[in-house]
Amino acid sequence: MFLDEADVNVQAGRGGNGMVHFHREKYVTRGGPDGGDGGRGGSIYLQVDRKLNTLYRFRNVHIFAAEDGGKGGTNNKTGRSGEDTVISVPPGTMVRELPEGKLLSDMTEDGQRMLLARGGRGGRGNPHFASSSNQAPSVAEKGAPGEEKKLHLELRLIADVGLVGAPNAGKSTFLAAVTAATPKIAPYPFTTTEPNLGVAALDGFETVVLADIPGLIEGAHAGTGLGFAFLRHIQRTRVLIHLIDGAGADPLADFSQINTELALFDPELRLKPQVVAVNKMDQPEAKERWSALHSELKKRGYESFAISALTRQGTREVLYRAVQLLRELPPAPVVEQELPVYRMVEDPSAFTIEREADGAWRVKGKRIERAAEMTYWEFEEAVARFQRILELVGAYRALQEAGARQGDMVRIGKHELEWKD
């Protein structure tokens, strides 16, 4: 089972108590204080283990505690330090402290370790309190409590290339064709429900990691379906392979919608290089459409390939083109630890409605305006889908409640639309 979010409580160990004791030995009077110090409590660390690829271990375990330090002994013996607790997580785990959500660390490298909660200091034994006026102190310290924190763990898969596309576009089949991954492949009515990672071997010893992101549906950026849960996994990828179902009902509309959902979730995603793979060329419908699809995608500035993931026709060519683009990219920027990799807009549905001087309605909202800007208005299906986005975020109902009537002009960004009841 794939799990990519978890809330955990961590409690570092308490320091051991210091001891009140006085030296006792035959023929030795007034042996003096010799109570030992308590041992330090165990700390809790987080460490990256590249063999892991999910947060599944946190499904039923939400509390982690380190061992308390031992109490001090006689003859100035210091108590034993508590054992540290090391929690293993997969690479790509982001750690935030609750309730504020402040980013503490972005764990990306194998073996990387961070201190989550520091163990408490051991209490001091009574020798520390001796003075010229009090040579037999009957006082010591108890151990300090360990740090306690509530944390939110979020996994963002680390892959060189991300596979995106509408449900049943063939991403899982493509991943299986070019890597040793064994995702579940079937004509599911919705889509794959878990992201999958695969490693493709290139020439020599070079490899590339691919992530199959579950199929996105309309409204995914706002949490519809599984989209919101998995869109963040695309953020770490540097190149996208966009698979299109060449035998589907409307391949270009699907292509436009997926790109819209990516940009609505995070504007940075629209800047990632894309290689378009028109899949299912083993089917007559896809073959007949290929020339027209290739021409239209070229007009839009996208390089496209005809493939059949099922028969593996053209799959290596697409993979090598994606790797070539990957090599041409500048090095990934170094992100400061206190900042997230990408900052999402807090409210994906935020918008305002105003009435302008000429009676037209003005809808303002970064994501709505971005969706309008990215809609291909020459396609009726794309226009219809944009209208459904307006319904999804509540803008359609808000306009009705504000008094919009048949024939009114509605402006969104630089676009003007005629309101129809």
Summarised one tens digit per residue, pLDDT across range 223-277 is 444 444 557 777 778 899 999 999 988 899 889 888 888 888 888 888 889 999 9
Domain at 215, CATH number? 3.40.50.300
Q: Tell me, what's the pLDDT at 208?
A: 81
> Does residue 234 share a domain with residue 139?
no
Amino acid at 149: K
Q: Is residue 409 part of a domain?
A: yes
> Does residue 264 share a domain with residue 376?
no
> Does residue 261 share a domain with residue 191?
yes
183 neighbors 192 (Cβ within 8 angstroms): yes
**Residue range of the domain that includes 115:** 1-155
How big is the CA angle at 107 (ends 105 and 108), to the nearest 5 degrees? 140
Distances from the Cα of 390 to the Cαs of 166, 195, 349, 406, in angstroms? 20, 29, 10, 17
Q: Tell me, what's the pLDDT at 334?
A: 44
Mean pLDDT in the chain? 82
Q: Is residue 339 part of a domain?
A: no
> Does residue 233 share a domain with residue 198?
yes
> Could you tell me where the beta strands, DSSP code E, fall in 316-408?
352-355, 361-364
Question: What band does 130 get if pLDDT is binned at 50, 70 and 90?
Answer: confident
> Does residue 304 share a domain with residue 173?
yes
> Does residue 316 share a domain with residue 213?
yes
107 neighbors 89 (Cβ within 8 angstroms): yes
Q: Is the pLDDT score of 341 beyond 60?
A: no
> Does residue 406 share a domain with residue 262?
no
How big is the CA angle at 241 (ends 236 and 247), to the nearest 5 degrees? 140
Question: Which one of 104-113, 178-187, 261-270 scores highest in mean pLDDT?
Answer: 104-113
Identify the DSSP state of 126.
G
Last residue of a domain, one of 328, 361, 386: 328
Q: Tell me, what's the pLDDT at 236?
A: 77
Structural domains counted in the chain: 3
Residue from 236, 83, 92, 64 nearest 151 by CA: 64
Last residue of a domain, one of 283, 313, 328: 328
d(CA 172, CA 165): 11
Q: Is residue 335 part of a domain?
A: no
Identify the DSSP state of 347.
-
> Does residue 363 share a domain with residue 252?
no
Looking at the chain, the whole-number percentage of residues with pLDDT higher than 70 is: 85
> Does residue 223 share a domain with residue 301?
yes
Tell me what the mean pLDDT of segment 285-295 comes to: 94
> Does residue 88 share a domain with residue 39?
yes
Q: Is the pLDDT score of 336 beyond 70?
A: no
Domain at 145, CATH number? 2.70.210.12
Q: Is residue 338 part of a domain?
A: no
> Does residue 108 share a domain with residue 69?
yes
Would you call the peptide bond into 189 cis, given omega within 30 degrees of 0 as the criterion?
no
**CB within 8 Å of 291: residues ≥ 6 apart:** none
Summarised one tens digit per residue, pLDDT across range 308-321 is 999 999 999 999 99
Summarised one tens digit per residue, pLDDT across range 140-169 is 888 888 999 999 998 877 778 888 888 788
b or e along 52-76 (b: 16 or more beta carbons within 10 Å of the residue's beta carbon)? bbbbeebeeeeebbbbbbbbbbeeb
Q: Two tokens at 120?
A: 């408490």
Amino acid at 192: T
> Does residue 141 share a domain with residue 247?
no
Tell me what the mean pLDDT of segment 21-40 comes to: 86
